[in-house]
Amino acid sequence: MILSETSRRWALAMPAVVTIMLFSILPLGVVLFYSFLSPGDFGNVKWILSADGWFSVLFERDIFDDTLMVSDAHLTILGRSVGLSFATTLITLVFGLPTAWFIATRPAAQRGFWLFLITIPFWTNLLVRTIAVQEMIRSEGVFNRVLMALGIIHEPLQMMFTNFAVLLGMAYVFLPLMVLPVYAAIEKFDFRLTEASYDLYASRFYCLRRVIFPLVRPGIIAGSILVFVPALGAYVTPRIMGGGKSMMLGNLIDMQFGQGRNWPLGAALAITLTILVLVALIWYTRLTSGRTERNHG
Amino acid sequence: MLDIREISKRFGYGNGVVTALHDVSFSIAEGEFFTLLGPSGCGKTTLLRLIAGFSAPSGGALVLDGKDIAGMPPNRRPVNTVFQNYALFPHMTVAQNVAFALEAQGRRREEVVPAVDEMLKLVQLVQLKDRKSSELSGGQQQRVALARALVARPRILLLDEPLSALDMKLRKEMQIELKRLQRETGLTFIFVTHDQEEALTMSDRIAVMSGGRVQQIASPRELYDRPANHFVAGFIGESNFLAVQANGGAVSIGTATVTLAGARDGPLTVMIRPEHVTLGTSLPDALNLTATVTQLVFFGTDTHVHLRLPDGTALVARIQNALHGGRSFNEGEAIAVALPAEALRITAKAEEQA
């Protein structure tokens, strides 16, 4: 049998199409569909169409008088998720940029070693890494003991189960995701350009602003996205470091599928998270595509 | 204008110290096209980087307009550089590249815009001013690099082998272009190259460098006609070197003898350019020898005749391919060779590492 050119192309594209349908479009469709059903009594869903799931993302009904209120708890968690993710991105950038710079400016033979050091934690189980951070800051942990031994404090500081704890855990866990793309950008940077800029009367700061930063920027943006997106959906780290006190979106979703027994709400929250991520990605493409400097003369 | 005083530069520590420059001293005059010429590793680029301020000398002074600038950072020196790889800013347009120096100096926009336009006109790139520098050809990038380095009107323009990345034809064009730019701007150019032809055609004066020392500073004509030593004679143009015996003001090879001014008694090396070797006849005031033709190499405008003297010394003569009256030679033939005394140069050994 001879296939026409068009059907031959379709046949060749099938594995990719099937993979995308099966593992990307279909699950997303199921989640979207579930978000419009009613919660079952013991989890799962009842096949009755309802917008209650989406409704509960932002609002809640008072159990006594049925009045409608904006859900403070959900808004707080949503705000905390976005806020902590931004803060995590910022912290990893502040620590990651000099680290990446340091590695990229080592002799080529040594860079592999430094990159290896950065990536070792990356290959370690997430749970193990997070618990290691917990060990540092818990009440009987290393920090508190050292500070007490030095006489700086007399009572252990309560650091666990706060926003600070979640932030510390996430910044630690996501740091390699910032360092690697920034390193890649700096490594490609031609340092003769800094020499040229000094020769043309640029100060160090002027060189940083006009030459280094614009050329390293794509790496910084890529790193920021790589940190921000998984931070927004983080689950394990806020669960361990924040407990019930400093929940993030991922934990809220988990709760709806577990104790909350409200699968439609969980599904709606999951879709909300996906939309937030999409917004971040669109913002990213905007930032990277319109990259021409202002024109002169 | 620029006095280079006993500048030395050493790299490394302890036993690994490499001396790149040995107490180099010379002066460059206002408006001069000055070339540092030498093979790679001779110290010419090191010297250029010291003048630009990218590294500090280990000793000595760099006096520009009466002020020692050796310790001054590059962004304070009134000196700009055209880099070997151009080092244009890839994220900026041609106009932004050219404007960079003025903007870094904090000049106002009303000053920057006309100055940039004028520079672009000078290097004939006005129509490409909004193009990204990464979208230009090699020759165009070269012009942008020139305009960018000239826009702030530096006291000295440094050029680090700027033509080495261009093809032959473009290189010839840019040589003429560079010379024109230098005349029109009246600026002092310090040009670094390993290409003797480039140096000879463009420079007012050339410093020939080798082993971290200046071997000779002279005009192109002077360098070619009167090389100071063996190294310069060998590096600039083609040369024949002959071992001779000097005795009482005359030099001799075998039985041939000629009076030569400045010949001190003992064994000597003399140099003669291939175009000054006369074939097929004997001359008065010349070393008249007999040699065997070993090879003929045709070069279009002229022919190189490779010869061997009875003592085994190889010699090359360059014969112009005239339309008429040119004598032809055959390989294996024994012919008369005359080396006129006025073309013979006594060459000392080059100054080597101390």
- CB-nearest partner of B95 from A201, A214, A296: A296
DSSP 3-state of A88: helix
Chain B residues contacting A via beta carbons under 8 Å: 52-54, 73-76, 79-81, 83, 85, 87-93, 95-96, 99-101, 103-105, 112-113, 116-117, 129-130, 148-149, 152
For residue range B271-328, what is the model confidence (pLDDT) as tens digits? Answer: 999 999 998 888 888 889 899 999 988 888 888 999 998 888 899 999 888 776 666 7
Residue A250 has pLDDT above 80, yes or no: yes
Contact A195 B54 (CB under 8 A): yes
State which residue of chain B sits closest to A193, comparing Cα positions. B87
Do residues B280 and B292 touch, judged by C-beta distance below 8 A? no
- CB-nearest partner of A296 from B76, B113, B148: B113
Rounded average pLDDT over A99-125: 90
| pLDDT of res. B310 | 87
Count the neighbouring beta carbons within 10 Å of the beta carbon of residue B94: 28
Residue A225 has pLDDT above 70, yes or no: yes
Taking the CA of residue B142 and the nearest CA in chain A, the distance in Å comes to 14
For residue range A254-294, what is the model confidence (pLDDT) as tens digits? Answer: 988 888 888 999 999 999 999 989 998 898 888 776 554 44
Nearest-angstrom CA–CA distance, A183 and A192: 18
A257 touches chain B (CB under 8 A): no
A200 touches chain B (CB under 8 A): yes
Closest by CA position to A27, among listed A38, A19, A39, A15: A19
A215 touches chain B (CB under 8 A): yes
Q: Which amino acid makes up residue B318?
A: R
Closest by CA position to A78, among listed A264, A249, A253, A247: A249
Burial of B216 (0-12, 13-18, 19+ CB in 10 A): buried
Ranges of chain B whose pLDDT falls below 50: 352-354
For residue range A45-74, what is the model confidence (pLDDT) as tens digits? Answer: 888 888 888 888 888 777 777 777 888 888
Can you say whether residue B308 is alpha, beta or left, with left for phi > 0 and alpha for psi between -120 and 50 degrees? Answer: beta
Strand B314-320 and strand B334-340: the pairing is unpaired
Closest by CA position to B207, among listed B186, B226, B193, B188: B193
State which residue of chain B sits closest to A207, comparing Cα positions. B104
- CB-nearest partner of B117 from A192, A206, A297: A297
Maximum separation of any 2 CA atoms in chain B, in Å: 78
Nearest-angstrom CA–CA distance, A164 and A150: 23
| pLDDT of res. B246 | 86
Nearest-angstrom CA–CA distance, A176 and B220: 59
Please provide the average confidence, as pLDDT, over all residues in chain B. Answer: 89
| pLDDT of res. B354 | 35
